Amino acid sequence: MTSHKLHTHFPGRLLFIGFGSIGQGVLPLVLRHIGGLSPDRITVVTADDAGRDEAEQFGIRFLNHPLTRENYRHVLEPLVGRGDFVLNLSVDVSSIALMKLCQEKGALYLDTCIEPWPGGYSDPNIPASRRTNYALREETLELRKAYPKGPTAVITHGANPGLVSHFVKQALLDIAADTDVEVGEPANRDEWAALAQQLGIKVIHIAERDTQISSKPKMPGEFVNTWSVDGFISEGSQPAELGWGSHERNFPRDGRQHDFGRKNAIFLSQPGCATRVRTWTPLAGHFHGFLITHGESISISDFLTVREGDKVAYRPTVHYAYHPADNAVLSVHEFCGRNYREQERKRIMMADITSGIDELGVLLAGHKKNAYWYGSQLSTDEARELVPFNSATSLQVTVAALSGMIFAMENPSLGIVEPDEIDFRRNLEICTPYLGPVVGKYTDWTPVFDRGRLFPEDIDESDPWQFKNVRVI
């Protein structure tokens, strides 16, 4: 069992916005590891009654009050003041609006993804380029100009995005040590990017295989998942996005570039839940995953970009490669077949999970030892032993939210920061006891493995790590 030691002390109030599976799962961690947070100083504001029993079990105030563009300030301003903390785990509530409120009020902030108001992801009247995580990130980073030394707001800090950025840094150091590249630990963005370039990292997959099984089969007209159904549908309906590497020679025919911002990422003219890619994890081996848009695909590729003047000298291709639980895969296929219209019923697997793990990590490829996966192999059974109200999937998210909160409390005046910019060792120190086996494995697998007998003309064998080879057409 992991230690229940306090990591920090916090004298302010804590406001949960959203209280689904992640909110319910992070609450016992917060009470366990953050001193001074008595239940009478915690409030939940959410859009339905999900989690009411769990909150009341701890004696926490619970408000079922959906937030809108029109009412959020009226609802939240009495609950947020200087020195407080807003933990945003909501869907369809603008992260940017909440961040502005926190900056004005002097409150700390953390979210696990950047959310727009309803319609921001799916409104066909909004150009596709503006419905991307890339666009939301650009808008969020613009806030830094207005609040350069404001209260710390840690954005996109769940399992992924979030924890995986810390995995990338540890993996880079592991590969350097194993390939006899002598470097000190990088101290800033430029040094991390130079190390990735020196190692020859061409591709970074956030490679995840969820094998958790439910005692209840998925039924027709039902979307089943191991985490937020609304969140998965929302991001799966966005255009597929990826950080675009400097080694790539074949621009996708359906690829689109942005005409604003840092221009480190591209998007495809189809949803992520309809886009598949080849990847590898140690226990699952090679498999096909969905290229779901995620903030880390954009922030990691930007963080590891090497520029020479205005020219990009180096950048890895970075994207998510996600095989969810089998019930969720069936749900996605049905959702796509309904022309991306939601099913009538939604269910999150939790107490009904009978077995399985969530194998979540980063695959760094193209270097001297080919490819290296580093990450967590957490089982549901172990997650339940460690923390109540959690599955393997939720615990990987909730403990990362906890570590990001603690970092913000310990460093309260950094303004708006991304996972790639904060102390990876401190975050891994907090998270690792809750991640099950944390392993690093090398592999000789490439995306052209065993494919020569089927349509060999579609393979670029001169460089197996071209996106053309990774993508499933």
Question: pLDDT by residue (tens digit) across 210-221?
Answer: 999 999 999 999
Q: Check whether the bond before 161 is cis (ω within 30° of 0).
A: yes
CATH 3.40.50.300 fits 163-393+435-472, yes or no: no
Residues of the chain with CATH 3.30.360.30: 163-393+435-472
Q: Are 224 and 331 in contact (CB under 8 A)?
A: yes
Query: How far, in Å, CA of 359 to CA of 283, rounded?
Result: 8
Q: How confident is the model at residue 305 (pLDDT cuts 50, 70, 90)?
A: very high
What kind and span of H or E run contains 443? strand 438-443
Task: Name the CATH architecture for the domain at 8-154.
Answer: 3-Layer(aba) Sandwich (3.40)
Name the residue with tokens 């990987």. 396
Strand, helix or coil for residue 431: helix
DSSP string, 340-371: S---SEEEE-STTEEE-EEEEEEEEEEETTEE
Q: What is the pLDDT of residue 332?
A: 98
Decide if pLDDT at 152 tops 90. yes
Cα separation, 304 vs 189, in Å, equals 7
Please tell me the predicted confidence (pLDDT) of residue 2.
59
What is the band of 122 on the pLDDT scale with cuts at 50, 70, 90?
low
Query: Left if phi > 0, otherwise alpha if psi is -120 to 50, otherwise beta: which for 60?
Result: beta
Which pLDDT score, from 0 to 100, does residue 128 have? 86
Contacts 24+ apart (CB under 8 A), 247-255: 247/202, 247/317, 247/366, 247/463, 247/465, 247/466, 248/317, 248/466, 248/467, 249/460, 249/463, 249/466, 250/460, 250/466, 250/467, 250/468, 252/467, 252/468, 252/471
Query: Where along the chain do the CATH 3.40.50.720 domains lie?
Result: 8-154
Work out the mean pLDDT of the chain and round it to a whole number.
95
pTM: 0.96
How much of the chain, in percent, has pLDDT values that exceed 70? 97
Residue 1 has pLDDT above 60, yes or no: no
Mean pLDDT, rounded, for 463-468 = 96
Which range is least confidently modeled, 74-78, 121-125, 311-315?
121-125
Confidence at residue 463, expressed as pLDDT on a 0 to 100 scale: 93
User: Taking 90 as the threshold, does the pLDDT of residue 119 lie above it?
Assistant: no
Mean pLDDT of 132-152: 94
| pLDDT per residue as tens digits for the range 346-399 | 999 999 999 999 999 999 999 999 999 999 999 999 999 999 999 999 999 999
| Confidence grade of residue 11 (pLDDT, cut at 50, 70, 90) | very high
In the predicted structure, residue 3 carries a pLDDT above the cut 70: no
